Structure 1
Amino acid sequence: MNLRLTHVVPLLVSLLVLASCATGPAERPATLDIVSRAPAFAGTVFDGSGAYEAVTAVARLPSGDAQVLVLQPVDAADSSGVLLIEVVGADGPQLPRMANNGDARHQRADGAGNGFTMRRGHTLVSLRATGAQQLRDAAMLLQAEYISDATLAVGAGQGGRMLRDMIRDGFNLSPMGHKVFDGVLVMMAGGGDEFPFTYGMATDPVSGKSGGIFARCTATATCPKLIHLDSSTDFWQSRASLVATGGTSRDVDLPDDVRAYLMSSTQRFYADRAVQGECQHPNNPAQQSPVVRVMLDHLVTWARDGKAPPPSRFPRIDDAMLTEADRDSVGFPDLRKLGVNYPEGLMPAGPYPLFVPMVDVDGHDIAGIRLPDIEVPLATHAGWNLRRGRANPAPLCGPNGMSLPFAATPRAGDPRRAISQRYPSRIEYAKAVALAARSLRDQGLLLQEDVDSYIERARRESRVP
């Protein structure tokens, strides 16, 4: 346990207040019951932080029990002082994959992937909570057990929406008036299901109500530093444009404590490889994890030291990067001669307008963080795909995007330049990748280790002769 004594007393007092709020004598105080302890990742030793331990536990809370998995450095001296809590939704734990390129099998050495969060020395928690209040209660209990310099939360999909609901409903305020989470990373949550949709103040054109996700925490000075990441698919399927517009037809400014970024031309929960599945076209393997890694580092620095991340990169109406979904407005290339139809006639889900990102001549989102897969492409990557067959009335193919490889040499009916027209040789291709990767690094949008990975991969790229 990594104790920071200056934080212990307020947290313990908060827990006592939390326990005293029980509605009846049968209510029990909050406790963390340890079920098991075991070496994590088969005893793998990570550079800078040593070996990790896996602690399985149950958080016993007045609001109900919550399942907890803690991965922490065996030696407390190796800890970064960051408590990183992932709120696990219906899609299961996503942080191991999105940050580490690994998986949730913490018993296996290969489950660690590249070991990014472990190399940083963070104490990692997977938490399955059932609502905003239980999330707050569990986070406070975990803070008392694993005291840190900064407590951060991460949620993808449903987990991200739960974090937004927690902040919206005022639960980032502890019973003693302190922040529960210092920083929050919301991933692929889209615009949500009910007003308010955005973090700044907006007026709902349907109900006439005014509000914002940060309204309550602003009033109590308990807003976390927050980074919001969406894929391109979230604009097509999860109304992510509402984060920018609040349901109106104009832009809504984000609070100073919020950054929003589009992970350009990626699908929701990226694919390891392009496969067709139930869709008409192969899905979208454009990477997202390099963005997640650099944003985690930014969130730690922002929450702990006050150093803000780069400016938001989210499409807006006033710069024409957020537009109606028809082909002419979006600017998607005409690929019908290749058997690729565009999803025409899409209707908004509910009373709010549907806006999606504008694209370039290859079909790639212009706004957002364009990683080398998109900036120096070998295929068109889109945030939408179409279902096969006519039995299913839904035209879009779930959370899947689409990838359409460029031809090696010019071909009839394809308006996109062929690979031979773009990159005279593999060396020239690798140079272009290196330039794009280093530019992102210099803007604070890519880590050096990912720059190196992109360049090495480009040198071995077999699709470019």
Structure 2
Amino acid sequence: MGLWRGFALGLCLIVGTVDTAVAEVVRVVIDRRTVFLEGRVFGTAGAYELLEGRVFFAFDPDEPANGRIADIHLAPVGEDGRVELWTGFTVLQPLDPQQRRGVAWVDLGEGGLGATAALIQGGAPDGTVFTDPAELGDPLLLRQGVTWIQLGWEAAFTDRPGRLTLALPTALEADGSPVMGWVRLDWLVDEDDAPLSLADPSRPFNPVVVPEAPVHILTVRDEPDAARDTIPVDEWSFVLAEDGPYAGTPVALDVDGGTEAGRIYELVYRARDPRIVGLGLAVVRDVMSYARYDLDSAFPTGSGIAFGAGAGGRFLRQFLYEGFNVDEGGRPVFDAVWVHGAGAGRGQFNARFAQPGRVPSRGTDHGHPVDLFPFTTSLQFDPVSGRSLGLLPGVDEVGRPRTFATHRGHDFWARGAALTHTSVDGLRDVVPEGPDRAYHLASTLAGSSAMGVPGPDPRWTLRALAVAMLDWVDGDTPPPPSRVPTIGEGTLVPSGGVAYPAAESIPSAPTPHLVSRVDHGNRFDTDRVIDREPPELGPAFPTGVPQVDGLGNELGGVRGLEIRVPVATYLPWAVVEDGSPFRDGDPAVVPLPLTDAEAGLRGDTRPSLQYLYGSEAAFLARVRAAAAALVAEGFLLEEDREAAIAQARERWLAVVGGG
């Protein structure tokens, strides 16, 4: 690390515009370069500087490394025959090159924003930490001396102000005419007369071809798997935008008599002008390659880690599957990739008329090309399709990174996470090992609790894993072994086999999200073109969910303080007020009864806080012992121990009262 720091000192440039030696990155423009937070010192890394700017690219459509980008040969090109685009970026790096660790942390969150500040540092959940320092949280990553990179990568947010922009080109036929194809949208209506909008910030807008044509089909149904009833074409119409960027273009639907609450409306329409969203994969590849291999890089680094959460995590699974962890020069890009909260999904990050924001849930977005085989990093055989595939190449091949996958409890119920560490038939375990790790953050939720008491805080585990990942990359120190529920230990079971305790306050568990095989037509696997909407559904992949202990909390994963010394049952699946079996809702936290008498009155078979602990002092003694164990296991940082214990006490007080 010291040798790299000395080398970096010679590379540090004060730049406005830099022409680069990496073929795809033709220019880097630094629009602003400032000392971050007026020179605040972050541990031994010292002060940081903030770079804000744009990276300009020119991609060769005939370059084999770009060959998997859908429709790249339909992109407009410059005089040199290359596809031109740019993306915005922000970089934080230690001001003194001698203090730089030499590891880039590329942060891919939702909607043109990063994920690290909120998930690992306890910062703002919807902010970009580089433009508003108050959103930074506890700056663990900065104290580690990393070069922290954010960039525009997601096609859905190219037009939204305040986000890092990725300026993607639109595909055109060889004669200059528009590219056309099918697009499917659906809406689960919450209230009568709710609008049906075609323009949504979570996906690119795809204009309608000839609104008056009878080829567009609107259907309605009562449940996701119910038969679709076609609404006659004379009973609905497109609504045109009166002003703004889409003036005169259909942007919504008007249904005669209005829409009905609780029903699912689905539109399949003929669209035009798809953006070439797969270029986002090459953008991430080449920004990291530029940082790593260009001797004139404005933010040089010796190695790199990609961290993606939610859509960013699914993007990284697609990135690996498509082979983008090798650059055009045949060199490795990221040393390690960390996918958080993605479950088994990849996504629409490289397809014609892609909708990256579409994620199948219990009620909507069924059949979109998101949860697609293969699911595991290792090779597996699917007897239905007859294909043998894995997300990653062999362990010894160029571009084979080390990987982390972290799953919330929610991801087993809503995102098919068990598919990432079980066989295709669901009968045996395929637990990641060697260069791969998987961790189940037991009973963690996806959102706020529906019942007032906060859910488990995964931040403590994620912080420990972040440090472990950095030490694995630049120190070759192995992280803790994978910790996930398994079939062999009986901690991963069919949803009907989960033994929740009897308590009136614990609602019935829903049916988990089923991942079905889908057929979008013959061209999807080869050209990423969807010819069949809605798709033909095949048999579902068998999947499991975590078994629970006597209190109803999940087994088989990393059990944090909230689970080892519990004051509640944490239900990671969504609770819905109206009882709808296919509507998403909020996860639930069900406090334990305070006394044995209260448990008896409520018919609650869970032990009371009185029985488990007797007093706050006894509770805190158990918490301290559990915290020591987590530190020893590598799932809690020593520097976080007292803060985690204090948070556990706050949780106790939230249930029993007092302060």
Compute the TM-score of the two structures, normalised by the length of structure 2.
0.62
**Equivalent AA in structure 2 for residue 308 of structure 1:** P
Range that drifts further, 311-320 or 247-256: 247-256
Aligned 1:64-463 pairs, distance under 5 A: 64-90=85-111, 92-103=113-124, 104-130=128-154, 131-143=280-292, 144=294, 145=297, 146-192=299-345, 193-215=371-393, 218=395, 220-249=397-426, 250-268=428-446, 271=448, 274=449, 276=450, 281-282=451-452, 285-326=455-496, 329-335=497-503, 337-338=504-505, 340-346=506-512, 348-350=514-516, 351-389=540-578, 394-397=582-585, 400-410=586-596, 411=598, 412=601, 413-458=603-648, 461-462=652-653, 463=655
Q: Are the aligned partners of 1:173 and 1:222 in contact in 2 as well (CA < 8 Å)?
A: yes
Distance in 2 (alpha carbons) for counterparts of 1:262 and 1:198: 15
Does the CA-based 8 Å contact 2:460-2:637 persist in structure 1? yes
Partners of 2:421 and 2:431 within 8 A in 1: yes
C-alpha distance in structure 2 between counterparts of 1:345 and 1:232, whole Å: 14
SS at match of 2:623: helix
| 1:20-78 deviations in Å (ceiling 9; x for gaps) | xxxxxxxxx53221122234346533222223222111121225322211112222233
Change (3 A) 1:365 1:42: farther
Alpha-carbon shift at residue 344 of structure 1 (Å): 4.3
One-letter code aligned to 2:541: Y
Mean CA deviation greater in 372-381 or 281-290: 281-290
Name the CA distance, whole Å, in 2 between partners of 1:91 and 1:440: 34
Relative distance call for 1:346 and 1:291 in structure 2 (3 A) is closer
1:176 positional shift: 2.7
Q: Which deviations, in whole Å up to 9, do the C-alpha atoms of 1:381-435 show, x marking residues without a partner?
A: 1211222226x662442xx432111222232221111211111222211111111
Alignment CA distance shift 1:385-1:231 (3 Å): same
Alpha-carbon contact 2:320-2:392 (below 8 Å) kept: yes
1:127-176, Cα deviation, whole Å (9 max, x unpaired): 22143222211221233322223211100011111112222222111233
Question: What percent of counterpart residues are identical?
Answer: 28
Cα distance in structure 2, aligned partners of 1:91 and 1:355:
33
SS of the residue aligned with 2:413?
A: helix
Q: Aligned residue for 1:23?
A: none
Question: Hey, what's the Cα distance between the residues in 1 that align with 2:9 and 2:472?
Answer: 20
- 8 Å contact 2:326–2:399 — kept in the other structure? yes
More helix by share: 1
TM superposition score normalised by structure 1: 0.86
User: Quick one: distance in 2 between partners of 1:356 and 1:4?
Assistant: 49
Larger radius of gyration, structure 1 or 2?
2
* Deviation of the 1:110 alpha carbon: 3.1
Match of 1:220, SS? coil
Displacement after TM superposition at 1:303 (Å): 1.4
State the superposition RMSD in angstroms: 2.6
SS in 1 for 2:23: helix
Instruction: Please state how far the C-alpha of 1:453 moved relative to its aligned partner.
Output: 1.5
Gaps of 5+ in 2: 12-19, 60-84, 155-279, 346-370, 517-539
| Amino acid of the structure 2 residue aligned with 1:435 | A
* SS of residue matched to 2:58: coil
- Looking at structure 1, the residues matched to 571 and 7 of structure 2 have their Cα atoms a distance apart, in angstroms, of 46
1:101 offset after TM fit, Å?
Answer: 0.9
Bigger strand share: 2
Distance 1:312 1:69 in 2: 33
- Mean CA deviation greater in 84-93 or 69-78: 84-93
1:18 aligns with 2:208: no
**Counterpart residue number, 2:29:** 33
Is the CA contact 2:9–2:97 (under 8 Å) kept in the aligned structure 1? no
| 1:43-82 matches, cutoff 5 A | 43-63=39-59, 64-82=85-103
1:385 aligns to what SS in structure 2?
Answer: strand
Question: What one-letter code is carried by the residue in structure 1 that aligns with 2:152?
Answer: R
Deviation at 1:178, TM superposition (A): 2.1
Shift of 1:183: 1.2
Counterparts in 2 of 1:361 and 1:138: CA distance versus 1, 3 Å: same
Q: Distance in 2 between matches of 1:4 and 1:423?
A: 57
Deviation, structure 1 residue 283:
7.6
Say whether the 8 Å CA contact 2:344–2:417 is kept in structure 1: yes
Q: Residue 67 and residue 88 in structure 1: after superposition, are their counterparts in 2 closer, same or farther (change >3 A)?
A: farther
Count of residues paired in the alignment: 434
Q: Would you say the 8 A contact 2:494–2:545 is kept in 1?
A: yes
3-state SS in 2 of match to 1:71: strand
Range that drifts further, 38-47 or 251-260:
38-47
Post-superposition offset of 1:241: 0.8
Gaps spanning 5+ residues in structure 1: where? Answer: 9-14, 20-28
Q: What do residues 338-384 of structure 1 show as CA deviations (whole Å, max 9, x unaligned)?
A: 3x321345562321123111111111111111110111011111211
Instruction: Report the alpha carbon displacement of residue 187 of structure 1 after superposing the two structures with TM.
Output: 0.6
